[in-house]
Amino acid sequence: MSIAKIDPKTAIAEGKTFLGIEFGSTRIKAVLIDAEHAPIAAGAHDWENRLENGYWTYSLAAVRAGLQHAFQELVADARARCGAEITRVGAIGISAMMHGYLVFDANDKLLAPFRTWRNTTTETAAHALTEKFRFNVPQRWSIAHLYQAILNDEPHVKDIRFFTTLAGYVHWQLTGKKVLGIGDVSGMFPIDSAANNYDAEKLRQFADLVADKKFSWTLPEILPQVLVAGADAGALTAAGAQLLDPTGKLPSGIPLCPPEGDAGTGMVATNSVAEREGNVSAGTSIFSMVVLEKPLSQVHVEIDIVTTPSGKPVAMVHCNNCTSDLDAWVKIFQEFSALSGAPIDKSALYEMLYRRALDGDPDCGGLLSYNYYGGEPVTFTDEGRPLFARAPNSRFTLANFIRAMLFSTMSTLKLGMNILTEKEHVRLDQIFGHGGLFKTPGVGQRLMAAALNVPVVVLESAGEGGAWGIALLAAYRRQKSADETLESYLAQKVFVGGAGSRVEPDAADVAGFAKFIARYEKGLAIERAAIANL
């Protein structure tokens, strides 16, 4: 049954709206949607992490200030666009970048500066936990941060009484509830998807690892309560309302959905929460999320196992490098255009070059490119050296050069995805694409379809990103029927007839990428030599 359409001004006045706020690595974004899930106002706050005492961090003061500023920008946008003041909303959702380390004592005092997912200081702990659990635990996972702090004999560990992520912290401040959505939880500690809770056997294994420390806490006591999408996650308290809106216009009592991680909200925003579907996020970094029909047969250190916001297991291939090297080359072309006396607008230049790539040879004419600004766990490189190589008989044309750059952005992802499709026989019906790589219509989408040999769908509605995704989860919390699943809600009420484009793999492109990736994999020896000698 469709929801009756009301104009944005009336929707805001009557509180028939839903608010999503997501804390990204460089921007905090707030999105207000109506009952039909369309964005009607937005606000944002830019921020940056800082390297302090060897750790990448954000201060909690910056978290609070950013939350308030993003919301006030949203309020101002709603006033300018719709001529309405936000004095109530139907529900609120909080999302943030996953993983990391936030720990508090019995008096709710922060015990150590927030350690974000970006830190790579937990190699010893991550390796030990992977061996113990027989389950891949990457360095960025919260449990790796905790165990590394234990191995380091950090004095604050004995005083921990609450352990959470950034989304969990903000939600706690707004509601007083120490809870977390299962998708975000799955980046803290392994999840049992059958029980929609922490993996009990791995909890026991962790207790064995730290038994000699004789802590006064156990891991289940300090971790947040696990909630699935649609669950009651509490309501805005008076203190929470004052934190979010110091002007006092927003009342307490507004319900909140479970707080989620950015991977989960990305899945929701692209409607890729059902089995045999997935999404690729491609920007500065690139990662894929594939919803599994069954557990993987073995541990692969290249693959993370997380969950959708409703608890379905997801295989994640995360690569640190995507468009940075391509962006650097575009800047060179832009500099040349300025020197020529005929400067080209940056957006126009990107579109021109991307489209030129479609005229290249399917295999890039023998050219080879590595986009490694940093290390890549999938290919076991600890550092990166951006690298371009060709043989004397390669076809060195502009079209082939740009095509090779674009193929390079998705090559490491392809190697990780091969583990799923070839070794684990994971089947995919389609992949949803979002991020800067797909901004030029039809180009990144077509080449990604060739790389993964699966149809790639790009939805126009995914442009608001994770903030829209968590707003959808807030709407699901209030508007779902008694037994309505998240998958059904998204498919039947949000993405029905949604505008977007679907590109099927082109046979010539698929064959060309297969030749390129074979050359790429063999040429990793060149990249490793560059790391050792350059």
The residue-averaged pLDDT of 25-33 equals: 94
- In our burial notation (b when 16+ CB lie closer than 10 A, e otherwise), range 19-46 reads bbbbbbbebbbbbbbbbbbebbbbbbbe
Question: Alpha-carbon dihedral of residues 504, 505, 507, 509, nearest 10 degrees?
Answer: 130
**Burial class of residue 492 (count of CB atoms within 10 Å of its CB; 0-12, 13-18, 19+):** exposed
pLDDT-derived band at 436 (thresholds 50, 70, 90) equals confident
Nearest to 116 by CA among 201, 49, 27, 41: 49
**Shared fold status for 8-262 and 271-463+507-534:** yes
Mind giving me the DSSP string for 234-255?
-B--HHHHHHH-TTS-SPS--B
Tokens representing 397 are 């044309």
Domain extent listing, the chain: 8-262, 271-463+507-534
Helix or strand holding residue 286 (H, E): strand 286-291
For 60-79, the pLDDT digits (tens) are 999 999 999 999 999 999 99
* Residue 340: Cβ within 10 Å count: 9
Name the residue among 276, 274, 286 with its Cα closest to residue 451: 286
Q: What pTM was estimated for this model as a whole?
A: 0.87
CA 401/CA 388 separation, integer angstroms: 9
Which CATH class, in words, describes the domain spanning 271-463+507-534? alpha beta
Distances (CA, A) of 355 to 185, 323, 510: 41, 16, 18
Residues whose CB falls within 8 Å of the CB of residue 227, separated by 6 or more in sequence, listed in order: 179, 180, 181, 182, 233, 258
The predicted pLDDT at position 463 comes to 53
177: pLDDT strictly greater than 50: yes
Using 50, 70 and 90 to split pLDDT, how confident is the model at 3?
very low
Mean pLDDT of 424-436: 90
pLDDT single digits (tens) 140-157: 999 999 999 999 999 999
DSSP states of 182-236 as a string? HHHHTTTS-EETTTTEE-HHHHHHHHHHTGGG--S--HHHHSPEEE-TTS---B-
Contact 458, 500 (CB under 8 A): yes
Reported as a single tens digit per residue, the pLDDT across 441-478 is 999 999 999 999 999 999 875 556 789 999 999 999 99
Strand partners, 280: 288, 433
Q: Is the per-residue pLDDT at 198 higher than 90?
A: yes
pLDDT of residue 358 exceeding 90: yes
pLDDT at 4 > cutoff 70? no
Measured from the Cβ of residue 151, the count of other Cβ atoms closer than 10 Å reads 15
Radius of gyration, alpha carbons of the chain: 23
Instruction: Decide yes or no: CATH 3.30.420.40 for domain 8-262.
Output: yes
Q: In whole angstroms, what is the distance from residue 534 CA to residue 381 CA?
A: 14
What single letter denotes the amino acid at residue 293?
E
- pLDDT, tens digit, 9 for 90 and up, residues 102-151: 999 999 999 999 999 888 899 999 999 999 999 999 999 999 999 999 99
pLDDT at 498: 62
pLDDT > 50? residue 494: yes
